[in-house]
Every structure is written in structure tokens, then in C-alpha cells.
Structure 1
Amino acid sequence: MLIFKKKRRRRKKMQISCKREELLKGIQTVQAVVGTKSTLPVLANVLLEAKGEKMDMTATDLEVGVRCSVKVEVSEPGAITLPARTLSEVVRELPSEEINIKVDEKSRVQINSGQAIFNLMGLPKEDYPALPKFKTDGEFSIDRESLSEMIKKTIFSVSQDETRYVLCGIYFHVEKGKVRMVSTDGRRLSYISKDIGIDKKKEVKVIIPTKAVNELNRILTQISTREETEKEGKVRINIEENQVGFMIGDTILISRLIEGHFPNYEQVIPKSSEIKLKIKTEALLQATRRVALLTTEKSNSIRYSLKKKELVISANTEGLGEARDVVGVDYAGKEMEIAYNPQFLISVLRNIGCEEVCLELTNSLNPCLIRPTTGEDYISIVMPMRI
């Protein structure tokens, strides 16, 4: 659970005006972390705090918190919390770009736009948990695009089994000037490493929960479509007291960390392989997706059959039918047949981001190692299924 600070109770009026697009941008940034199943009613709200020439918007479920700033004209500074879902729906349907919001001492909120008027009941700021603050002495930075890429290439291998809680997140390891991200669910593993140019003496080993990683990725994706991309090119990271904070421009995401020890992933990475195949990524992806159409939840395997100069991909599901496709490969060795979960392969091929991949195999019982041919320090491992 996030660590919050207590505040003195003091209610204020508030009055602002802003653009509908600007307010929607803020709502979209914070709304996804709003607590929907909490016993605390205020966690279904978003906190609005107006001061200076901006308004901070905050949402949390006590595990993950997000705060961002939007441009507003502040006539009277103050704060209020409003139901996130209602606020979002109202703002989306307002008839004009100009919005005026007034709050009185009894937490009653009036929203005006054009001829439309909405009167809502809010809850005071004092009822809302405050996000923790971080010191800056342990802060380090990573390029926004690099972080987004690393998340994209590892998030799909995270476990969904809550009984194995240490696998329900991404292992974030900083050492010798490099950052590594690793994820596994026991049947597949994804690993990526990048040199981020920080102090080589700095060392960090933490597990970041899946929800926090997904929210971070969503925020990074939103920012990449906005004009201020260049200004927000770096993500500042701070880790302390079992919590992590990611600062991107005026947006901050804070999350608790998963306690426990991540398994020794290096033990499962094959040190050598007998067969190395270079295959066009898109051709292999499309053939795998086509054949996977003839699989079901109960019969969810496809076969990769290596033959001379071709890789035959097939599926045979009782009561449904069978499918077969072929991808050309430079192979002249002995024939071999391996079964895989097609969704595991599709996830890798869809996110690997290169024209050609290298498949490293040994036999039908050993894992398949997939890496880009570009030399990037990235691998994904998929365990075979019984034939």
C-alpha cells in the first residue's frame, strides 16, 4: 500500500475556467487508476487542485497513484474531489470548448459550458489520501522511447497467477550503467537490457507490479502523440521505501513495489543451441496467426515441423479441423517437430520490432530462444508443449 501523509482539514472555494480538450486530457491520464472496488468512497473520485496557472489532477487506488497538470485560468485557488466517471462523462458531452467550474464551501460544484449547467456534489480534499513525495538524491533518468520499448517487449510475459506474486510484475534491475527488465510466467520469459549511461556504481533490484507498468506504458503512449514529446524525452525514476516514482514532464506515477525475490532467470536462458534459423518476422507471424485460428482453449497448441528448406506450421483440433502453412527457411538438417502455445509466439513476434528474427533450437523438449538479428540485447524464451 502507498504511504500517505496526513493533512489538516481546511475547506476552500475554487473557481477556474479551461478548455474542454485540456480537461479531458487530464481526466484520461489519471482515470484508469481510480479505485472501483474500494470500501473508501473517496477513492472513486479524482482530486482537483487549482493554483497559479494550472490544476493538478490526482487519482489513486492506494496501490498505484497518478498526478498530472492541466492548463487553466484560476480565478480562485482551491481543491475538490469529484466522481471520476461522472466527471469524464459530463466533460465529454459538454457543448462548448469553454468550461467554467465553481466550488463553494459545502463542496457543491457547478460546471458551466455554453447553455449547459451541471451541479455535482464533491468531497473535500481533506478526505483524499495524498501521494507520497520523493527525495531527488537517488533519482536517475532513462530515455522515454527506450523505456516504452522495454515495457512493450516484456510486459506480455508477466504472470497472471496471483499465487506466484513475485512473477506478477516486471523485474527492474540497474547495474553497471545498464537497466535490465525481465518478466516470466514460468512457461515463457522475456529479457531486455539497455545502457542508459548512469553511474555504474548505482544498483537497483525491484519488482514493479503489472498494473503500474501498464499505466506507465499508457501514459508514455499518450505523451508520444502530443506536441511536447521533445520536452518530455526523459523519464526520471526514483525508488525508496518500497515505492517507485516515474516522473514524465508534469505527470508522476507512483506505485508500491512487490516484495520478494525474483527467480534466477539466467539459469533458464540456454547457453548454446544446435539449430539457428533466420526467418522473416512478418511471414512467421502471419503464418502462425493463420494456423492458430484452428486452435481452442482446450487444444491450444500448434506444431513447428522443420524440414529441408521449410518450416511447416500446423494445427489439428478434434471437432474443429486442421490447418497448415509453410515458411521458407535455410535449413538442411534432420527433421524435427516441436509444439508451442501459438499465443506465446505471436506475442513475441508482434512486439520484437525487427524485420528478421533468429530462432535457436536444440530439440523438442528444450525451450525455443527468439532474438532479433539486429544485435539488440533482447531475448524471449518459449517453452515447448508435449506433442
Structure 2
Amino acid sequence: MAILSNVLIEVTREGELILTGTDLEVGLRLHIRADVEEEGSITLPSKKLFEIVRESGNNLITIHETENNWVLITAGNSTYNLAGMASDEFPEFPKIEDDTFISLNSQIFLELIDKIIYSIANEQENIYSLNAVLFEKEKREEHSYLKMISSDGHRLSIMEKQVDQDLDALTLNPVTLIPKKGIQEWKKFCEGRDSVSISFEKKQMVLKDDKATMVIRLKGGEFPNYNAIVNSIRQENKIEIDRIPFLDSLKRINLFTEDNFHTIKISLENNKMILSSQNAELGNAKDEQTISYSGEPMVLGFNCRYFIETLQVMECERLDAYINSSSSPCMLKSDTDSGFLSIIMPMQL
């Protein structure tokens, strides 16, 4: 639909300009004050309109509709003629139930998203539901929690945040899946806002404040039983590692991994961890780290990039890693990163 590249512009006698954009998965409506001479509506190419506004260098922009859906735009000494399309072809903005919203601090959502966004599956992944984030609420010991879970089939990220508000009014589906693009736009919506009102309906979620409304279409389908994966790891065989030295070591070792799988070998024994990688065309690398580990010696294979991306979203100085054997997943967490847990699946060496 060509008109989806356009932004719907509506002006009212009350001096309000309403901008609406959508790709049928995510929709956004903004309300802006304007000097309106005559009410009406039209759609204009959003990218070109953005470029005109950005390059104009002027505080005031005037838009005047002429004939056949053309508009004359004036900004300072510059004038532009821009072809638009009739507004009646633009998709209708979804209806919203105003009585189902609860208001939450935007920082809660930003912290949830930042900890899980990196491990959402890309569109080319075969499992359709992994291109989305599982969103849940939970009540434990009189405390309310919001939780986001993402996985690409090779790793799993879980983040939960305690909230002061009562979440009874927040109605979720049995499986509430938010598409990757929706999560990305949700994050942008929260940035620069102190609080956001949120509501969930059967097929869509809605974010809003007093000037903007965002609608995100929910995905259907199931999500893997992440609790079974978490419970499969006995938190007994613990490795204590300094995060920053470990992250720096991984970045060095990753220089000599094969591009497709980023495979590294991790050897553990008696408070020592040796990381090594090999590239058939370039050579090999080895790095040694001091850790706290007194278990049986193990040789592990993992995707280096998965560890790097996990450690980059953590904030602790020292993290705990749990692993049952050389063929089992590795769990990463720390007391500092409260509510966060990451699991990385092993690779064959």
C-alpha cells in the first residue's frame, strides 16, 4: 500500500494538528498546536516532509493545499511543491478503549526492554513466535511484577521489575506476544517521557500520554516453556567472574572466530579460565582469566557473541555463571542486576 509511506495530516478549527502514521503493525498519532486557517486533511510523503522540515532551518512552516492533492510548503525564503494523496485512502486508526489504562513510570519499561531486546530472533528465524517478546505480569508475596522474556532459540533473556501499582486492571492474553518492531518503537515512545499509560486488548496494545497514542498489533502463537529451561540448570556448580575483564577477553578472542558461528572454547579448572578461538584462514587466539571455580575441569563450546551481548547489558562488577556439564546451558546472573537472568546454549566444538 503506497499510502503507508505517507503521514496523515488533519487540522481542526480548535487549532490542533493531528499527525498519524502506520505500517499496519505499529501506528502512532500525535497532537500538536498549530495556527489553523481552514480545517481539512491530506496525506503527504513522510520521509520527504521530514527532510524539508529538517533542512529548512526555520522555526515556522506553512502548509497550504492547492489542487489535486498538491501542497505548497513555505519555510523562510524557501518554497516547495509536494504531491500528496487523498486522506480517505489512509487506513483508519484503531479504536481504543479509554477505561482500561494504567500509568507507569517509563523507566520501568526502558529497563525491561534494554535487558531483553538483544536476544529477540530476527525475521529469518523459523520459529515465528520467537520474533516477539513474551510479556507477563505476576504477583508474589503481595508484590506486583512485570516481566519480559526473549529468545532466538540459542539463548534466553528474562527481566522482571517490581512495580508499586496494582496490576489487576492490566488485562493480558494467556500468551501476550509483542513483535520485535513493536518493542523497538515502545522503547522510543518511552524515551523522554516520565510516565506512560498502557493498555492491552485482545489483538493490540496501546501506549499513550496527553499528546501521543501508539498502537502495536500483538502476535499470535505460543512461546517456549522458558521456566522448564531455567529449572533444568542446577544452581550448584558456580563460577564467579569479574565482568569487565571477562568481556574484554571475549572481545579479543572474538577477533579470531569464524564469522558464522563465533565459536570459542572455554576451559575451566582450579580458579582458571582459558578462552581460545581458531580461524582456518587467519590463525588463532588464547586468553587466560582468573576466576573463582573449584568444580571438576570442563571444556565448553559457546558462541562468543552471545556472551558479549549479555555482558554488555549487565551492570555488575562480578557475575555468577552456573553450568551443569560441558553439554548443558550456561546461566548468567548477578545480585546487582536484580531481576535479570540469561541462559546461553552450548555449541559442539
Same fold (TM over 0.5): yes
Q: For residue 119 of structure 1, what is the aligned residue in structure 2?
A: 81
Contact 1:45 1:84 in 2 (8 A): yes
Counterpart of 2:338 in structure 1 is 376
Aligned length: 339
Does 1:207 find its partner at 2:177? yes
Report the 3-state secondary structure (helix = DSSP H, G, I; strand = E; otherwise coil) of the residue aligned with 1:385.
coil
1:322-341 maps to which residues of 2 (within 5 A)? 322-341=284-303
Q: 2:320 aligns with which of 358, 362, 368?
A: 358
The 5 Å alignment of 1:144-159 reads: 144-159=106-121
Report the equivalent of 1:187: 154
| 1:254 equivalent in structure 2 | 215
Q: Is structure 2 residue 46 aligned with structure 1 residue 84?
A: yes
Are the aligned partners of 1:46 and 1:57 in contact in 2 as well (CA < 8 Å)? yes
Residue 217 (str. 1) matches residue 187 (str. 2): yes
Deviation at 1:345, TM superposition (A): 0.9
Residues 380 and 249 of structure 1, relative CA distance in 2, 3 Å threshold? farther
The CA distance in 2 between the partners of 1:325 and 1:73, in whole Å, is 65
Question: SS at 1:293's partner residue?
Answer: helix
Q: Is the 8 A contact 1:173 1:203 kept in 2?
A: no
Q: Deviations over 1:171-211 (max 9, x none)?
A: 01123232111111221101111222343545524000111
CA 346–71 in structure 1, closer or farther in 2 if over 3 Å, else same: farther
1:45 and 2:23 correspond: no
1:235 is aligned to 196
8 Å CA contact retained: 2:233, 2:331: no
Q: Which residue of 1 aligns with 2:55?
A: 93
Question: Structure 1: which 5+ residue stretches go unaligned?
Answer: 1-39, 224-231
CA distance in 1, matches of 2:28, 2:239: 44
Alignment correspondent of 2:145: 178
Distance 1:99 1:241 in 2: 40
Distance 1:299 1:126, change over 3 A: closer
1:98 Cα deviation after fit: 2.5
> Structure 1 pair 57/323, CA: closer, same or farther in 2 (3 Å)?
same
Query: Whole-Å Cα distance in 1 between the matches of residues 337 and 6 of structure 2?
Result: 47
Q: Residue 48 of structure 1 contacts residue 81 of structure 1 at CA under 8 Å; is this kept in 2?
A: yes
Contact 2:233/2:323 (8 A) holds in 1: no
The SS at the match of 1:74 is coil
- Show CA shifts across 1:117-142 (max 9, x none): 00112112222112112113322233
RMSD: 2.0
- The 5-angstrom pairing of residues 276-355 of structure 1 reads 276-298=238-260, 300-355=262-317
CA distance in 1, matches of 2:55, 2:171: 49
**1:37 is matched with which residue?**
none
> Which structure 2 residue ranges, 5 or more long, are not aligned?
none
Letter in structure 2 aligned against 1:180: K
Q: Which whole-Å CA distance do the structure 2 matches of 1:248 and 1:346 have between them? A: 36
Deviations 1:327-354 (CA, angstroms, capped at 9, x unpaired): 2212233322211111111111111233
Letter of the structure 2 residue corresponding to residue 166 of structure 1: S
Sequence identity (%)? 31
Shift of 1:62: 1.3
How far residue 162 of structure 1 moved from its aligned partner, in angstroms, is: 4.8
Q: CA separation in 1, counterparts of 2:311 and 2:78? A: 50
